[in-house]
Amino acid sequence: MTLRIMPGNFLLNMSALGAMSAALLACVAVAMAADNAPSAGETAARGSDCFSCHSVDQKLVGPAFTAIAQKFAGQAGAASTLEAAIKNGHVGTWGQIPMPAHPQLSDTQLQQIVSWILSLKGQSSAAATAPAQSYTTNVDGKPVTTHFPIFQAGTQKVTPSVFRGYELFDSYCFRCHGADAVGGEYAPNLRASLNNGMTEDQFLSIAMEGRKAQGMPAWAGFFSPQDIDSIYQYTKARAVGALSTGTPPE
Ligand code: HEC
Ligand code: HEC
């Protein structure tokens, strides 16, 4: 930005002075923001699908980035090991869920991302997740317990999260899993999956990772963990019988 002041403009009136100082302040603000701007590595990670499965300080489908930084801190060759893991995909270090390959990332992007991840080694991971809360909903006279609220307290209206889950399900999942999660010709009835013991973590992992060979798309990069959690909540509410088919009461 350039501020050009022509000679005639030296007779600035008060409002012009105000505008000038506002412009100067804006320059300062931009400069300050640049100092706190995310690193190239973080920007590249946020532009890819990483944050569908990882968070900086909490385990989601994959380990927290701080946990990876701590595990690999000070190890010789850590950077190239991690770059290869991201590029080619990896399984077995943290559990049985595989990370997909990322052939689209350039070597420079991989190096930037890994140096950002390794720079997080001094940051602590979030304390073990708070003890799960539980909420009781009355379904046909019987109490049903979930770890999230289905209805807004004291009303017949579903929570915004459950409603969003319904909207997302009936926009993206219904094609194969059936509208209103009734089950489809091409894909399992997800209410039955949950009633047969599938956990929320398993639901999130399968949804993000997909099972491409079986025709289940991967949703990592498209949905945030919060989106899939909303879809899980809606499907669970349907599975326990708290919601009937159709638009839930909003
Ligand atoms: C579909 C989910 C998913 C996506 C998307 C994903 N990851 Fe992972 N990531 C995982 C899982 C699961 C593991 C644990 C794999 C293992 O046990 O070896 C993992 C492990 C890692 C590791 C540790 C590898 C090791 O050798 O220990 C790094 C680093 C990593 N991910 C970075 C990334 C980055 C960067 C991106 C984005 C470009 C990304 N991940 C995208 C699920 C994912
Ligand atoms: C193009 C079709 C298709 C779409 C769209 C689709 N799925 Fe699937 N999904 C499948 C198939 C096929 C399977 C069964 C995979 C298998 O045989 O293991 C499946 C399996 C699953 C499972 C595991 C069920 C179990 O019992 O093992 C979950 C969870 C799941 N899908 C979630 C979702 C969610 C959430 C969405 C929407 C965001 C979605 N799916 C959209 C085809 C689809």
Q: Return the pLDDT at 133.
A: 87
Instruction: Let me know whether 29 and 48 are in one domain.
Output: no
76 within domain boundaries: yes
Q: Which ligand minimizes its atom distance to the CA of 189?
A: 2
CATH of the domain at 53: 1.10.760.10
CA distances from 35 to 22, 98, 115 (A): 20, 36, 18
Prediction pTM value = 0.83
**128 occurs within a structural domain:** no
Q: Is the CB of 79 under 6 A from ligand 2?
A: no
For residues 157, 162, 167, 171, the Cα torsion angle rounded to the nearest 10 degrees is -150
Look at residue 30 in the predicted model and tell me its pLDDT.
Answer: 44
Give dist(CA 75, CA 92) in Å, integer. Answer: 18
- State residue 37's pLDDT score: 83
Indicate whether residue 219 lines ligand 2 (CB < 6 A).
Answer: yes
User: The tokens of 247 are what?
Assistant: 């638009």
Domain count, the chain: 3
Q: Which residue from 52, 167, 177 has its CB within 8 A of the most atoms of ligand 2, so it is best to mutate?
A: 177
Classify the phi-psi angles of 181: left when phi > 0, otherwise alpha if psi is within -120 to 50, otherwise beta: left
Task: Give the alpha-carbon dihedral of 234, 212, 102, 43, to 10 degrees.
Answer: -20
Co-location of 91 and 148 in the same domain: no
Site to substitute for ligand 1 among 99, 104, 116, 117, most atoms within 8 A of C-beta: 99
Judgement on whether residues 151 and 233 belong to the same structural domain of the protein: yes
The ranges of the chain with pLDDT < 50 are: 1-33
Our answer on whether the CB atom of 188 is closer than 6 Å to any ligand 2 atom is yes
Does 108 lie in the same domain as 177?
Answer: no
Can you give the pLDDT at residue 130?
Answer: 63
Residues spanned by the domain of 17 = 7-36
